[in-house]
Amino acid sequence: MRDKRKSMPDAAGMKPFRLVKFFSFSGLVIFLVFTLVLSWLISKHAKRVLLERSEAYSLVVAENISHQVFQQFVLPTVVRYGKIALRNPEQFKMLDTIVRNATHGMRIEAVTIYDSMENVVSYSTIAARIGREGEGGDEYKKALAGESNSTVAASGTIFNLMP
């Protein structure tokens, strides 16, 4: 009889071990799933905050450039010439100098000024764009309506995170 009793506790002792193993692995899986979900949520929030701050900074820079162009170019040019004609090399050079001085040291790829009546590039720091029609797209239409718009361009893979 003693042999039967000894074998029974051994069999009962194996079941709790399996249960502990099950809980360990299922707990690990649940932990990993929640970690991935939480990191995804934090990433989305960080991207949204980054976009909001970037938009706010862009608006400040755009207002600064607009103010400087108006004060240093539009008013003096209208007083001196009576009208703005960027085909005049002197006027174009003056505007180009003001825009480049206003953006010096900032990480701004290009500044483009459109004719407000037509979708034509009147001025750009990229000379090949000047005079082109239809370059504004949806952003041009939103700007005419008084809306600001921004996009975040992100590229990369999980391998970019590796050291």
Question: Residue 116: inside a domain, yes or no?
Answer: yes
Give the number of domains in the chain.
1
Question: Residue 28: inside a domain, yes or no?
Answer: yes
> Token digits for 142?
């939103």
pLDDT digits (tens, 9 = 90+) for 28-86: 999 999 999 999 999 889 989 988 898 899 889 989 999 999 999 999 999 999 999 99
Question: Residue 8: inside a domain, yes or no?
Answer: no
Question: Residue 141: inside a domain, yes or no?
Answer: yes
Question: Residue 157: inside a domain, yes or no?
Answer: no
Instruction: Tell me the average pLDDT of the chain.
Output: 84
How far is the CA of 68 from the CAs of 72, 73, 104, 137, in angstroms?
Answer: 6, 8, 13, 26
**Residue 6 phi/psi, 5° resolution?**
-65, -35
C-alpha–C-alpha distance, residues 55 and 89, integer Å? 33
Question: Residue 11: inside a domain, yes or no?
Answer: no
- This prediction's pTM: 0.67
Question: Residue 39: inside a domain, yes or no?
Answer: yes
Per the structure, the complete domain to which residue 108 belongs is given by: 24-148
Residues whose CB falls within 8 Å of the CB of residue 78, separated by 6 or more in sequence, listed in order: 84
> Token digits for 123?
């001025």
The answer, yes or no, to whether residue 111 has pLDDT greater than 60, is yes
Question: Residue 16: inside a domain, yes or no?
Answer: no
